[in-house]
Structure 1
Amino acid sequence: MRITVAEHPRGRLSEAWRFAVGTGRFELALRRDYQDSLALVQRDIGFRHIRGHGLLSDGVGVYHPYQHRGERRVRHAFGYVDQVVDAYLESGVRPFVELGFMPTALASGDQTVFWWRGNVTPPRSHTEWADLVRATVAHLVDRYGLAEVRGWPIEVWNEPDLPDFWQGADADAYHRLYEVTAHVVKEVDADLQVGGPALSPGADDGWLPRFAEYVTDRAVPIDFVSRHAYTSGPAQHVPFGVHQTLAPAGRLLEQFAAPRRQLAGTPLADLPVHVTEFNSSYRPDNPIHDTAFHAAYLAPVLAGGGDLVDSFAYWTFSDVFEEQGVPTSLFHGGFGLLTHRQIKKPTYHLYAFMSRLGGQVLAHGPDHVVTRDDTGRLAVLAWAPVDVTGRDPIDRHTVRLSLPVASAPTAFLLRSSVSEEAGNAWRAWCELGRPPSPTTRQLDLLREAAEPARRHAALPVVAGRVDLDLHLSRHEVTLAEVTPVVDHTPPWWDEGRLLGQERP
């Protein structure tokens, strides 16, 4: 069945999908590979904010207690913070500040998370924690300006509902931490944005309402609500990786919608909602992240998530990420849109395709979205449905559209696609024998294989419309751009004389 796309827009395309993106721990941004990857992502996609763990952890070196003349004092140092934030701003992206984890010398316990040992215990002194937060936020304001930092959301901690990330998953202890932190942020400036609680997908439905009740009853400042979303099942461990079942991608959208459902009728009901992490798997060593399946799986989420939340941050932009330790292979199932050494994964191209959509939405279906920009260019993002069970793969899918085109005899079609066969560096890496540390020549081959397949054609415009048939192969995501043609062919041009032959 051919879908007739309306000429008049039904709304604007939300940019919630690019409001923020995730990153590895804070100090990894000092690395060249990280900065090269961020520059590439910003050139092709252009995220607004970036969020990661570890701003206050020992590796960044902000908190330094010392003794002087028998008195305990604390020095706050921001050399690494400045280098990282400067690099962010030079790349055109701003921090989405996560306040965590606990400096070892300020921690009340020794429980840590990840290979790099982020401390996840409450502060032994809330007064010193308040001083640390105050010094950090005030420094950012002093260095980058109040008007700038007012645009940076400040989130308190990460997944306090999980015992791995907050000792005992103690809600009362988190509420106290949030209260102290939020008041300190507002002391620096009342218009700074502070929020939380950055809940995991597994948080029970009572966690957020209890948090809302606490901040409401005690008049604690809150400017936004945050949570995370993943759809994978328990980890099935293999050496240097995992496999997991996946729920349908619609489960991500259900998780996006949960905060507003849970907060209905509370004073927090109308606050912005930020999903500060989302992906399929919550593991940084699941090979599904590297595949063409993954791009097709997430396409409907990117196309529709903005109807439910104010932002949803892909976790993460790059495989420069070390929660489980230093990766042992170039492709290792990392979260990133890019591998180390800037090899683009199929999901990278899904994001790059999204960045080329126009602002006016003309149609949105279960397998496509049609947009138009101010020049009249139409852009269609279409994707093949996926089967999360793996039992009934869909090898062929067609989207048939009738598109409204401004008055012109023809239109130019440029189509870019990724699939199992095209724009799939992971598949090429497998075919190369899965080299864990590719040679320079192999890296060049992988970069070439990572580029989307592209084709172009002239399409006839009949009665102000173009018929476009998009035949999609297995796990294909395609961007079709249709531009009305203004013909500047000179009157003397004769295709038949291209080889210098006179016409009879």
Structure 2
Amino acid sequence: MIRVPAEPAGRFSDAWRRCVGTGRVELALRRDYQDSLRLLQQDIGFRHIRGHGLLSDGMGVYRPYEWQGERRVRHSFSYVDQVIDAYLELGIRPFLELGFMPGELASGEQTVFWWRGNVTPPRSHQEWAALVRVTLTHLVDRYGLDEVRTWPIEVWNEPNLPDFWQDADESAYHRLYEVTAHTVKEVDAGLQVGGPAISPGADEWLDRFAEFAEHRDVPVDFVSKHAYSSGPAQHVPFGVHQTLAPVSDLLAQFATPRDRLKGTRLAELPVHITEFNSSYRPDNPIHDTAFHAAYLAPVLAAGADHADSFSYWTFSDMFEEAGVPTALFHGGFGLLTHRQVKKPTYHLYAFLARMGEELLTRGEDHLVTRHADGRVTVLAWAPVDPTGETPGPERHTLRLSVPIGAGEAFALRSTVDEEHGNARTAWQRMGSPRSPRRHQLDVLHEASEPGRRHERLPVEDGRVDLALTLARHEVTLVELSPVEEEAPEWWDEGRLLGREPQ
């Protein structure tokens, strides 16, 4: 029996929902994307959203032309305005990533992804600075300085990888960062700029980034990096399989910036994990499973110990880095499939959104919070075996003594496991249709909802004895609220069918 303290240990941080990832921002122009984001905000309510391609050709910002023998540039914000308007209307702010390079400004032709984002340095840093300046000035003019100051501005994406930055040229990145950061501050000193947005396995970049920033007196308002826990890809047609490290590896990656930057000028800056997930591949079936929700539960519960935000990559399967998906469930990063079918990890986030403001306790398999009105919420998860050598325990038991001030408590339990809140299971049983018919899609939406049950529990000495048995890969939310009985004194369930009282 675990005795939950009656007094809070502090506030439960909402770092887990301060940012979420998205496919290239151009996708926000589509209906399915906006429908998915609307649902996400209704159930979870993320604060910021980050994606690639703000300055790529698909957004059409950089438009050079010639007139009377002179080369000029026209900047168009038609798509940028539509995207950001849609975000703000849905209650989410952009976390701006400056990239990739417009083709006409690029120094080379190297691209990444199916949609060909150019990853070469600018052929003119002066023109790049002008592009950054005019873009941010437009955003300030349109949305107001106070608003845009709340949008972090990240310089590029994973420059330590040659796929994302030509030759992974660190000195070229430092030059790009320096030009960009000074330009941002020229627009307004209160705008937030940071980097270096590195992928896992390149932590030495943080050390040299700090040295560079101090030596060159370059503005840095936050430090960013990414975290993934999967091994090399084992390819199959339209998919991959990968090994997974223990989930503690993700938390260790979250902690890296603060650990490595101690004693530097960047030591006390906010740390943003601007991408994290298990697999770094958008076609790994692990993303669609109940296992995945149970695997990531401890990360969401404890991530705020190490970072100011950690952004799940991504909110929707509308993504397309590796091309248009070939099936509804295809291992996409998303919390939602196309057509808004919720995955188990979606519910992990939705459960967290229903937690209270006061943190009562946290353990290796549970998190307990309390709302201001006295409701107590318990999130619990079954342990998993990321090695795959065992299926994980078939049953996992947890017993808590929970403080609640009432004679009885109403307990509502919402469950996600292999059978509940798991549309992938239903999809496989119906034959894994790549493009489900309308009635099949209806079934999948129904199957994606958590299992729910409720009961009254006795309260003794101001405490509820909460005994939970979790199935394999289960994540469960129990909401406890004091019972205030308002049934009239004459009500008798025994007379429901008109029988005389005994």
TM-score (norm 2): 0.99
For 1:390 and 1:455, how far apart are their aligned partners in 2? 31
For 1:489 and 1:117, how far apart are their aligned partners in 2? 65
Q: What amino acid is the match of 1:437?
A: S
Deviations 1:302-326, CA, capped at 9 Å, x for gaps: 0000111000000000001000000
Alignment of 1:62-141 (within 5 A): 62-141=61-140
Paired residue for 1:440?
Answer: 438
Please tell me whether residue 280 in structure 1 is matched to residue 278 in structure 2. yes
Alignment of 1:214-363 (within 5 A): 214-363=212-361
8 A Cα contact 1:197 1:227, kept in partner: yes
Paired residue for 2:149?
Answer: 150
Paired residue for 1:417?
Answer: 415
| Residue 271 of structure 1: how far off its partner (Å) | 0.2
Q: What amino acid is the match of 2:445?
A: R
Deviations 1:323-377, CA, capped at 9 Å, x for gaps: 0000010000000000000000000000000000001011100000000010000
- Three-state SS of the structure 2 residue aligned to 1:210 is helix
8 A Cα contact 1:42 1:92, kept in partner: yes
8 A Cα contact 1:14 1:307, kept in partner: no
TM-score (norm 1): 0.99
| Unaligned runs of at least 5 residues, structure 2 | none
Paired residue for 1:39?
Answer: 38
| Residue 421 of structure 1: how far off its partner (Å) | 1.1
- Three-state SS of the structure 1 residue aligned to 2:464 is strand
- Three-state SS of the structure 2 residue aligned to 1:376 is coil
Q: What amino acid is the match of 1:306?
A: A
- Aligned residue among 367, 373, 376 for 1:375: 373
- Three-state SS of the structure 2 residue aligned to 1:304 is helix
| Residue 470 of structure 1: how far off its partner (Å) | 1.0
Please tell me whether residue 394 in structure 1 is matched to residue 399 in structure 2. no
Identity %, equivalent residues: 73
For 2:216 and 2:23, how far apart are their aligned partners in 1? 34
For 2:56 and 2:179, how far apart are their aligned partners in 1? 19
For 1:338 and 1:231, how far apart are their aligned partners in 2? 21
| Unaligned runs of at least 5 residues, structure 1 | none
Alignment of 1:454-465 (within 5 A): 454-465=452-463
For 1:322 and 1:246, how far apart are their aligned partners in 2? 23
For 2:213 and 2:263, how far apart are their aligned partners in 1? 15
Q: What amino acid is the match of 1:471?
A: T
Paired residue for 2:193?
Answer: 194
- Three-state SS of the structure 1 residue aligned to 2:164 is coil
| Residue 394 of structure 1: how far off its partner (Å) | 1.2
Please tell me whether residue 160 in structure 1 is matched to residue 186 in structure 2. no
Paired residue for 2:488?
Answer: 490
Q: What amino acid is the match of 1:54?
A: G
For 1:414 and 1:294, how far apart are their aligned partners in 2? 23
Q: What amino acid is the match of 2:167?
A: G
For 1:192 and 1:135, how far apart are their aligned partners in 2? 14
For 1:79 and 1:399, how far apart are their aligned partners in 2? 54
Return structure 1 stretches of 4+ with deviation > 3 angstroms. Answer: none
For 1:229 and 1:13, how far apart are their aligned partners in 2? 22
Deviations 1:170-203, CA, capped at 9 Å, x for gaps: 1100000000000000000000000000000121
| Residue 26 of structure 1: how far off its partner (Å) | 1.1
Q: CA RMSD in A?
A: 0.5
